Amino acid sequence: MGSGLLVAGTTSDAGKSVVVTGICRSLSRRGLRVAPFKAQNMSNNSMVTSEGAEIGRAQWIQAVAARAIPEAAMNPVLLKPGSDRRSHVVVLGRPAGALEAGEFAGGRQHLADAAFGTFDDLRRRFDVVVCEGAGSAAEINLRDHDYVNMGLAQHGSMPTVIVGDIDRGGVFASMYGTLALLDAADQQLIRGFVINKFRGDVSLLKPGLDSLERLTGRPVLGVLPWQRDLWLDSEDSLALTSRPVHDGDGALSIAVVMLPRVSNFTDVDALCLEPDVRVRFVEDPRALAGADVVIVPGTRATLADLAWLRSRGLDTAIVEHARRGGTILGICGGFQMLGTQIDDPHGVEGLPGASAAGLGLLPVRTAFGREKVLRLPRGTALGVAASGYEIHHGRIIVDGGTDFLGGTREGSVFGTMWHGALEGDALRWAWLREVAAGMGCEIRAGEVSFPAAREARIEALADLVDEHLDMDALLAMLSDGRTLPVLRGTLR
């Protein structure tokens, strides 16, 4: 039976995903067989594994960092928000109905059983399972039914480290408060702290670090410095706001429409590496005025987000952009919006029988089917090999145009059902050259490899972990059964 470690946080977006990714590669460097695990994700950013299962994108990249084959067991429960009160549920990589807001606390025992079972399976097959918590470790309103944070830690008798984002301010109070809010049994599993996103001279933190260790009886295992260019495949679209804006040299300006229920927004990550490309995420039609290319990304709520486009006047701005000869790329749900008609006869996204006219830029009709399509397609486009992944309920009927990556193209308007195609260097370079040629300009394309850049980021992240975290102490925690102090004022 292998060991387990839980990396929990004081808040969402404290950096848990990034820390787990770095620890996975660091442990792999030491020759250990490592698997990532997140009992439950709430994210519309997902990936298809080689077994044809859907998992959170963050766990997919963590598996890459661990040098393990991504599999459904690494993210047994995936909640994909379709609205503020309803999430579509994926269990072990397959659709499993929906979860309403009122069911969130008490209606999840079957999900907990699936999560605990797959965690136990991974621990039998790997030396170390590095688990990522969700939100805060002190979600005390959900503790009775928790299987993601301390509930998981108790199930696996796992040492837990708490990650806090110092860039937000108040990190010492949030770390102390997170520990103090837990009951005595949960406190016993908290073995240390990690401070993330620090800018400046770490010696200035020493009085606070010493006080936190004295007050809690637990060490600060390290302080990770803030790094601008180390963002990785995220699970939360909110992380887009903390990513560096990519200016490039400005030869080609790309506006990505930030849909309310955007999914698989990592489709544009590779473009953010190109030296002549300027990428912006936009919500206002005026922001499209200076763009050469408009990208309408995927969405978990195609009809609702199409209505949102219209409510803001973005539909008119996109159509006008096409009429002026500008390039448009629609991906999955964004592609479906560019068509002539969208129908939801079975209520996959909401009410049965819902329908809407599309923007009419491509000869495509869409009808949602009950069964989800999950596959890893390969083919050719623009004279080069291409690949991607498909995650969708929408079935398209193409009435014209030229075939393009499981979709169609008419002039400078492209539509594809394939996510991730732009991560392929040859396809991305060919597409950028095609766009630039249509504008009558040249662009540097062929200088940057996205797969190589991703691997370099993982290695750089592991270097930071090895340099700034006490990995020997962290490994020692896996077998340390000492009794630790319990803070006063606990709930139980």
pLDDT of residue 379: 96
CA–CA distance, 211 with 193 (Å, rounded to integer) = 13
pLDDT of residue 238: 42
pLDDT of residue 351: 83
pLDDT tens-digit readout, 332-359: 999 999 999 999 999 888 889 999 999 9
Q: Where are the beta strands (DSSP E) in 133-210?
A: 160-165, 190-198
pLDDT of residue 257: 96
Does position 51 have pLDDT exceeding 80, yes or no?
Answer: yes
Q: Which of 332, 392, 393, 468 is catalytic?
A: 332
The DSSP call for residue 394 is E
**Strands lying side by side in the sheet with 34-37:** 34-37, 128-132, 3-9, 160-165, 190-198, 220-225
- Write down the pTM of the prediction: 0.91
Give mean pLDDT, residues 219-231.
Answer: 85
Q: Which of 88, 392, 393, 419 is catalytic?
A: 419
Q: Which amino acid appears at position 209 of this protein?
A: L
Alpha-carbon separation of residue 30 from 2, 52, 224, 469, 484 (angstroms): 15, 30, 20, 15, 29
pLDDT tens-digit readout, 258-279: 999 998 888 999 998 999 999 9
Give mean pLDDT, residues 220-248.
Answer: 64
pLDDT of residue 249: 59
Q: Which amino acid appears at position 416 of this protein?
A: T
Q: Determine whether 272 is an active site residue.
A: no
Q: Where are the beta strands (DSSP E) in 61-127?
A: 77-81, 86-91, 94-100
pLDDT tens-digit readout, 98-142: 777 666 555 678 999 999 999 999 999 999 999 999 999 999 998
Q: Determine whether 346 is an active site residue.
A: no
How many whole angstroms from its chain centre is CA 328?
A: 24
